[in-house]
């Protein structure tokens, strides 16, 4: 296993559409293992193959209770609006933004051996799945963000100000 370089937002590879995985072999397994190690080393919740320069429809995520490998994922249905708006990305370091994502998603994907899996994700897992899924179609969260912050401190200051304003409105 190895730590792979993560492409940054100005790399045109991130804007390309990834191709379906056909071969579920040792090369895929090595890629998935490297992606897992890279994601954990960089303290991410997910990482797509395109982010490490491989245009394959695959990503890894650990946004809930367990680590998942999602190959050839499909978004079947979505519902509601996720209350967790703040989002970041290993390919857009130092920034974060507000993104509207669904609260629940029903998905299908394959595991590293090609077995089909159907799941329902909610909350942070749903948000993470959608974020990584977008990468496979050349979409970055900054394309969907309603607001971008230069860092978490700027976000926290704005969040605090909004909460204060909302409290004042309720009291009036």
Residue 148's Cβ-count burial label (10 Å; 0-12, 13-18, 19+) is: middle
Q: Which of 69, 87, 125, 132 is catalytic?
A: 132
Among 86, 74, 91, 92, residue whose Cα is nearest residue 130 = 74
DSSP secondary structure letters along 57-101: SEEEE-SSSS-EEEEEEEEEEEES--S--EE--TTSTT-EEE---
Among 74, 75, 67, residue whose Cα is nearest residue 39 = 67
**Residue 136, token pair as written in the block:** 């496979």
* Residue 132 annotated as catalytic: yes
Residues classed as catalytic: 132
């Amino acid at each position: 296993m190895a730590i792979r370089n993560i492409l940054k937002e100005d790399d045109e590879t991130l804007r390309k559409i990834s191709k379906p995985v056909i071969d579920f072999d040792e090369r895929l397994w090595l890629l998935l293992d490297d992606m897992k190690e890279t994601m954990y080393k960089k303290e991410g919740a997910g990482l797509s193959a395109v982010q490490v320069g491989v245009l394959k429809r695959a990503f890894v995520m650990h946004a809930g209770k367990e680590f998942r490998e999602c190959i050839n994922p499909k978004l079947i249905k979505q519902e509601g609006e996720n209350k967790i708006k703040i989002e970041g990305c290993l390919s857009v370091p130092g920034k974060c933004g507000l993104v509207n994502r669904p609260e629940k998603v029903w998905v299908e994907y394959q595991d590293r051996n090609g077995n089909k899996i159907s799941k329902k994700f909610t909350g942070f897992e749903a948000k993470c799945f959608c974020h990584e899924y977008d990468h496979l179609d050349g979409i970055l969260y900054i394309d969907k963000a309603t607001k971008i912050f230069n860092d978490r401190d700027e976000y926290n200051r704005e969040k605090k100000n909004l909460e204060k304003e909302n409290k004042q409105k309720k009291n009036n």
